[in-house]
Amino acid sequence: MALRLCILGSGSKGNSIYVASEKTALLIDAGLSARQTRLRLERIGVDMADIAGICISHEHTDHVAGLKVLSKQTQTPLYANGGTARAVSGKNGHDHLNWNVFSTGSPFAIGDLEVAPFALSHDAYEPVGYVVSNGDDKVGIATDLGMVTTLARERLRGCRAIVIEANHDEKLLVASRRPWYLKQRIMGRQGHLSNDAAAQAIVECAGEELSRVYLAHLSDECNEVDLARRMVEGVLKKANLEHIELCLTYPDKESECWEC
């Protein structure tokens, strides 16, 4: 096994992703409670004590809600860029956290894994996606972004698996009861990707290596699981990319595990 990937939880209720080599295991984000994080790791055969680091993408609560308790209970090393570390530390009860601060765009090592953070377009202080690699095997993660920039496409190309958000269906979002300012935020360049935008991004990022894509951060109110799947499958079929396996992620349980 070169890499193993499982999305422990995804959506507005909490986000956390497990990525591991045979020697090193990481969490990307800690938006689930400490209890749920432990429980879902146990269900895939992993102990929280085996986690070598927690890398945070940005400071929004659904990505850091469990961080304070996990840090207190386990002393797991925490990683973030300067903007995110300062923003998280400004939240109530998070000022004691001891950060390993990285520079966005500069890869760093945790065990035998290389972690390469890259800038994303989202309404946070300094949001990032990650490419985690072990030799030639790479996993790309971009779960909160309003648009897929040239940089993001370049970083995600060459990955064996990609986790990308398919947050909303545009018609369902417009028809929802959400206030107009919130709809504008979600549809904006620093908001969240629609199903269609996610599908186009997958096509633009797909190389010969890409075999699996996880659709993440689906909205309960402004999206439907079958709708998101059909939309993306249809676009991939037109692009002759039917070999790419689509997997769903869930707010209340872990996803299928992937190994390469």
Strand order in the sheet with 128-134: 108-110, 113-119, 128-134, 137-142, 161-165, 212-216, 245-248
Using an 8 Å Cβ cutoff, are 146 and 188 in contact?
yes
Domain ranges for the chain: 4-259
d(CA 50, CA 214) in angstroms, rounded, equals 24
**DSSP class of 153:** H
Q: Is 240 left (phi over 0), alpha (psi -120 to 50) or beta?
A: left
117 within 8 A of 105, measured Cβ to Cβ: yes
Distance between start and end Cα atoms, the chain: 6
4-259 domain in CATH 3.40.50.360? no
Would you give per-residue pLDDT tens digits along the chain (260 residues)?
Answer: 589 999 999 999 999 999 999 999 999 999 999 999 999 999 999 999 999 999 999 999 999 999 999 999 999 999 999 999 999 998 877 888 999 999 999 999 999 999 999 999 999 999 999 999 999 999 999 999 999 999 999 999 999 999 999 999 999 999 999 999 999 999 999 999 999 999 999 999 998 999 999 999 999 999 999 999 999 999 999 999 999 999 999 999 999 999 98
